[in-house]
Structure 1
Amino acid sequence: MRAQKEAPEYQDSVYQVFFNLMIGKFFLVSKLLFRRGMLLLATEIKLKISTLQRIIRKKLDAYTPETVSMPFHYRLLGKDTCAMFSFLQSMNTTFGMSIWEQVAEIFKQKEQNSK
């Protein structure tokens, strides 16, 4: 088993922010489904939450910006803003492909089963 590397201090706060955002979105979708008469089981909710945690942590550990040299953007927006935007875009892509498509499929199946 590989030794887990020590995460920089900022990663924990970034992780918490993204985790809270995604949990908020997930519960909003769950609330909309509840209004339509479809309930999520507690096990399904726990599975989704643990999946969110795993994906966010994995993304933070392995993230590398795509573009290294962006002098115009750096001067206009600053390196911190460019880095945050790049990371946000990467997270949105990751969540779209790894979570929201799967969640949409589960909700579609639940809706078909409830008819």
Structure 2
Amino acid sequence: MRIHLSSVFVDDQDKAQRFYTEVLGFVTKNDIPMGTDRWLTVVSPDDPDGTELLLEPDGHPAVRPYKDALVADGIPATSFAVDDLHAEYRRLRDLGVTFTQEPLEMGPVVTAVLDDTCGNLIQLAQHA
């Protein structure tokens, strides 16, 4: 068994696609119209057949309060692994990305938390 798909709820799929591809560096895997929304997934360019991230519309009534509560408590919706967190932090900060947590060393892991502009906090993590 392996993880095939995970998702983050986004408030605007077009904006999310731009942020996750043009800023974070993922590539679009699927972009399939489904009524007013799309089945929109991105993947790592280093692993195009790997785990897909669904940029899922947050229109369900339960989603907004859930997302707002996570953000209010500073809880990331998901976590992405990076090879060099300090370099990625500088790259993203220079692109104008807002971080709610600068790089923080915690034993065998260094983490930082960014705002994805679509209603989520995202953790970046580098394991020693």
TM over 0.5: no
- Which has the higher relative contact order, 1 or 2, with Cα contacts under 8 A spaced 6 or more apart? 1
Larger Rg: 1
TM-score (norm 2): 0.26
Point out the structure with the larger strand share.
Answer: 2
TM-score (norm 1): 0.28
